[in-house]
Structure 1
Amino acid sequence: MSGDTAKTSTVTGAHADPVTERSPLNPLRWKALALLCAAFFMVQLDAQIVLLALPSIEADLGFTPAGAQWVMSSYLITFGGLLLLGGRTADVAGRRKMFMLGMLLFGAASLLAGLAWSSEILIIGRVGQGVSAALIAPAALALLMTTFTDAKELSKALAIWAANGAIGAMAALLIGGPINDTIGWEWLFFINVPVAVLVLVIGPKLLKESRAEERVGFDPLGALTITLAVGAFIYAVVETPTVGWASPRTLLLLAASVVLFAVFIVIEKRVASPMVPLSLFRNRNLLGGNVVMLLIGMVTFGAVLLVSLYAQQVLQYTALAFGVATVVYTVMSTVGSQIGSRIVAKLGFRNMTLIAVVIMGAGVVWLTRAPVDGTYFVDLFPALVLFGFGLGMGFVSVSIAALTGVPEENSGIASGINTAGFQLGGALGVAVATAVAVAYSGTTGDAKQDLNAGYQSGFWSMVILTVVGIVVTAALFKAPKKAVAA
């Protein structure tokens, strides 16, 4: 049987035993899944929900144009930078405990962000959201993997989880634009508070505490170095549209990140209980899944940023109009994720990922031809249909690939790595798309023509990333000998 197939010994962990697989099923497991998915949807949504509200936030709180990007970047940096630490903390201290603590902090940080009376307070709130999201996401996925003890049900639960994450990542525009233009940007944050309260009330009734069955050390030095390395890297790429790739600040931060990553690897090889067991990356599917998830994050965040700028600055859409226009994007992502969750076992996640990334790439190629006098049904609608459908399928297949074969004691850190890939990719994608769009803007003197030239170049950079994704999938994922249903 192929390593590309979701099967008992791989999905539940490399060290699963028959006694564990025959353990009684948790009668509340599907309700617990719904609760965990609601939390994951919320943290994925908040990564992009402020995108269409940035002009309003900038005007109300006095952000500079360069400073406004930090409303998004502060969340991405803290979320992506602390995910590995959050995943290992969940394994050691208790997954339900960290999940509930994260939800409490997320609700409080969202309330502070909604009440923000200055730009500094809003950034503090967003940092708080990012820190708490880094606790919630890996703990929630680890809880899912320990709640479902039947291999077939676990495969289904993972597919639902991945589909939910894809929808959350793409529903931000649909939700954010109408909320901003009707009741105000503050409610982009206030809507999180009742969800957090609900989870805090019913979570203890549905979720059982779990920790790594094998004793796992905390490795504080490893946690510190990897967090600083990731943080320095994200900060460097986020600032490049403002200071440039060749600036001393960017080069020093990138150099510091490389050195810290090297120190981290040395530490992980020598400590008795490493935070990230390097043996995990011997699994080609896990390695390939996380690399492709990084690329999918780059294309998703980068393309969404560019298409929103094109629609608002070239086609003159309002935030509300563009938000409504993206409903097809969210619907198709839902369709793609649902179809993907049903056929991934038959096609294998290698084949399905290849198909999904090609479809995403086709959608972005369509956007490269978007003209100054473009129309919705000719220039945006087909691209949103293709891109949404491909992203829904791809998120499902890559998420399953990245978690297949992970031992139970490392489920928290593995889920942290997987989620970090998407968030880090998002930060990189925004930086790349912005840098390319600025560098290749026209100089004709016609504002719309010049902006549009930059956006078309930015879309081509996203096409290149999808090609890289296809190559990585073909090279790293194990090809199935035959399609076998789970």
Structure 2
Amino acid sequence: MTFDSSPTFVAVDTGRRGQGGPDSPDSAGSQGPAAAGPRDRIVLLVLLTASFTLAVDFSILNVALPRIGTDVGFDLSGLQWISTAFAVCAAGFTLFFGRFADLFGRRRQFLAGIALLGVASLVGGLADAPWLLLVARVAQGLATAAVIPAAFSLLTTSFPEGPLRDRALGLNGALMAASFTTGAILGGLLTDLINWRWAFFINVIVAVLVLATGPAVLRESRADDRPPLDAPGAVTVTLALVAGVYGLTQAGERSWGDPRCWLFLVVAAALLVAFVIIERAVAQPLVPLRILARRTIGWGNLAGVLAFATETSVVFLLTLYLQKVRGYTPLQAGLAFAVLGVGTIAGGLVAPRVIGRIGGKRAIVTAFVVQAAATLPLVFLSQLPGWLAVLLVATFAGGVANLVAIVGFMVTATAGLPDAEQGLATGLATMSQQVGITLGTPVMSAIATAAGAGVAGNVQHGVATALAVNGAVCVVAAGLFALALPRTRRKARA
């Protein structure tokens, strides 16, 4: 299915395929080769390394915030901006950059974003004033918004739809989900054993390695006929996402009763309405509304939002429980989630097989059911003997199930589209991921606080209530997607 607004792409092949590359008409929906070649593995390594590094940036500095504030000169109320400045830019600009990559070159944007990441991280690691560190975090957020959808679309266009793409998306999903616990553990280790500045300097090393390898192995797609960028639509949707993410982060940092939170959320809603009106009016829209009308795109991306929101908020709630109820240090709490990280990796590895056997729809529905079942024991942790063993087993099972849902969402939300639309599709998927990450914690934090978590001695009850709501959301999601998602079938292998 193609759209009038789609540019014609000229594939610049580096010799990875003799024929039938991803830009060929028959590539969508075909199974492609069953095994990856050496160049495929290098491409995958470059893209996954970059995506994982950027995903780690969401959480790596959280445990180091107090020390950063002391060293650089932030007051207590200003510390939140170290995380907020990054999150707002990373989520707010991702759809714009996803479409920009389609029009002006994914490989070019990927490499430019990595270069920006390296420079921004060097500045952040050397920063000795609050304003300079915040500038670096804004630049890191913009680099993330540019690189992740470009890397995602390079991945989907480098591997034809079928088993190879499913495996690549499985590894990508596993690393993206594992990055949150990895970031907390790595941030604690670097802060305690070396210096928090190395949380920035590691990015510089990764950027240099990717820039040294990427140009030789990544394949470019460039627009032969480049339509003008829908500037009004791009500005409107970017401002809407920035306002929405900022409103959500303020809800998490302050409370849902903060007037500024609701002001920005209302502004975001109004801008989204304006965006839809603009997209209906312009000849070549940033986001063709016919794409959003596809059930695989609309419902698939909602599955992504809920998958990321539910699991990342479980990590937040259990971190609160371990530190406030059980007296764990931040590093000990981070290490307790190592099993969850193993579960996410395992889920990423088994997800392609599950999807290949039962299809994307059934995989998503089953995953949400299992995730709900894994969340249930966590509600009763304080009443269960051997609570730590229960926590480890439940988080492992939940991690596996969550990754099956995430990979199912990624496969569903990018399937059946031509390569010329993959940047847009992956931009939407990346936006869904980041909205889910941003949404889950403040919502569950508000529920836990309303149930008493903000009062000494009631933390346990507040956390248990929020976990029960989290599990209920998974059950509702399973029922919703069982009814709404279309059933997809793979073509038989040749």
Which TM-score applies when normalising by structure 2? 0.87
Contact 2:125 2:197 in 1 (8 A): yes
Moved more, 415-424 or 374-383: 374-383
**Structure 1 stretch 335-344 or stretch 217-226: which is displaced more?**
335-344
Give 1:475's match in structure 2, choosing from 479, 483, 488.
483
Match status 1:228 vs 2:239: yes
* Residue identity opposite 1:459 in structure 2: L
> Is 1:31–2:42 an aligned residue pair?
yes
Question: Per the alignment, do residues 214 and 458 of structure 1 end up closer, same or farther by CA in structure 2, a change over 3 Å counting?
Answer: farther
Q: d(CA) in 1 for partners of 2:68 and 2:311?
A: 23
1:282 pairs, out of 259, 284, 293, with 293
- Does the C-alpha gap of structure 1 residues 119 and 315 become closer, same or farther in structure 2, counting only changes over 3 Å? farther
Q: CA deviation at 1:151?
A: 4.9
TM-fit CA distance, 1:80: 0.9
Instruction: State the partner residue of 2:271.
Output: 260
Which of 118, 129, 134 lines up with 1:107 in the alignment? 118
Which deviates more, 136-145 or 177-186? 177-186
Give, in angstroms, the shift of residue 412 of structure 1: 0.6
1:330 correspondence with 2:338: no
Q: CA deviation at 1:351?
A: 1.1
Q: 1:3 aligns to what?
A: none
Could you tell me the percent identity over the aligned residues?
32
* 2:70 pairs with 1:70: no
User: Please, which of 411, 416, 423 is the counterpart of residue 412 of structure 1?
Assistant: 423
Cα displacement (A) at 1:481: 7.6
| Displacement after TM superposition at 1:243 (Å) | 4.8
Are 2:206 and 1:195 aligned? yes
The farther-off stretch of 140-149 and 390-399 is 140-149
Change in CA separation of 1:422 and 1:22 when aligned onto 2, cut-off 3 Å: closer
- Post-superposition offset of 1:35: 0.5
Amino acid at match of 2:202: I
**Map of 1:47 onto structure 2:** 58
Give the drift of 1:140.
Answer: 0.9
Aligned partner letter, 1:452: Q
Q: Which residue of 2 aligns with 1:128?
A: 139
- Secondary structure, counterpart of 2:221 in structure 1: coil
Question: Residue 347 in 1 paired to residue 358 in 2?
Answer: yes
1:251-289: CA deviation from partner (whole Å, max 9, x where unpaired)? 322221111101111111121211111111232122111
Letter in 1 for 2:104: A
Secondary structure of 2:79's counterpart equals: helix
Partner of residue 458 from structure 1, selected from 466, 475, 490: 466
Q: CA deviation at 1:73?
A: 2.6
Corresponding position: 1:57 with 2:68: yes
1:192-222 per-residue CA deviation (whole Å, 9 max, x = no partner) reads 1111110011111111221246644311111
Match of 1:153 among 153, 158, 164: 164
Output the CA distance in 2 between the equivalents of 1:198 and 1:242. Answer: 36
Judge conservation of contact 2:190–2:196 (CA < 8 Å) in 1: yes
1:427 alignment counterpart: 438
Paired residue for 1:401? 412
Q: Which shifted more, 370-379 or 206-215? A: 370-379
In the TM superposition, residue 340 of structure 1 has moved relative to its aligned partner by 1.0
Aligned with residue 167 of structure 1, among 157, 178, 198: 178
Do the aligned residues in 2 keep the contact of 1:372 with 1:452 (CA within 8 Å)? no
Aligned partner of 2:370 among 359, 362, 385: 359
Given that 1:178 and 1:319 are in contact with CA atoms closer than 8 Å, whether structure 2 keeps it comes out as no
Counterpart CA distance in 2 for 1:283 and 1:232 is 26
Residue pair 1:166, 1:337 contacting (<8 A) in 2 also: no
- In the alignment of these two chains, the number of paired residues is 471
Q: Equivalent residue for 1:9?
A: none
* Superposed displacement of residue 376, structure 1: 5.6
Corresponding position of 2:7: none
Q: 1:378: how far off? A: 3.8
- CA pair 113-472 structure 1, distance change in 2 beyond 3 A: farther
Shift of 1:169: 4.0
- Which letter maps to 1:73? T
Residue 306 of structure 2 aligns with which residue? 295
| Mapped pair 1:17 → 2:25 | yes
User: What is the CA-CA distance between 1:293 and the residue it aligns to?
Assistant: 0.6
Offset at residue 470 of structure 1 (A): 1.5
TM-score after normalising by structure 1: 0.88
Alignment match, 2:197 = 186
CA contact (8 A) 1:180 1:319 kept: no
Residues 223-250 of structure 1 show CA distances to partners (whole Å, capped at 9, x for unaligned) of: 0000001111111121124554344323
* Structure 1 contact 312–318 (Cα < 8 Å) conserved: yes
2:16 — aligned with what? none
CA–CA distance in 2 between the matches of 1:320 and 1:240?
Answer: 26
Cα distance in 2, alignment partners of residues 173 and 360 from structure 1: 22
| Other structure's SS at 1:441 match | helix
Equivalent of 1:309 in 312, 316, 320: 320
Cα deviation for residue 40 of structure 1 reads 0.9
Following superposition, the deviation at residue 63 of structure 1 comes to 4.3
Which stretch of the first structure deviates more once superposed, 152-161 or 30-39? 152-161
Q: CA deviation at 1:18?
A: 4.0
Provide the rounded CA distance (Å) in 2 between the counterparts of 1:250 and 1:290.
Answer: 24
Aligned to 2:92: 81
Between 1:432-441 and 1:124-133, the stretch displaced more is 432-441
Which one of the candidate residues 108, 127, 135 is aligned to 1:116? Answer: 127
Q: Within 1, Cα distance between the matches of 2:355 and 2:374?
A: 22
Q: CA deviation at 1:175?
A: 2.6
Using the TM superposition, name which of 223-232 and 362-371 deviates more.
362-371
Opposite residue 25 of structure 2, the aligned amino acid is D
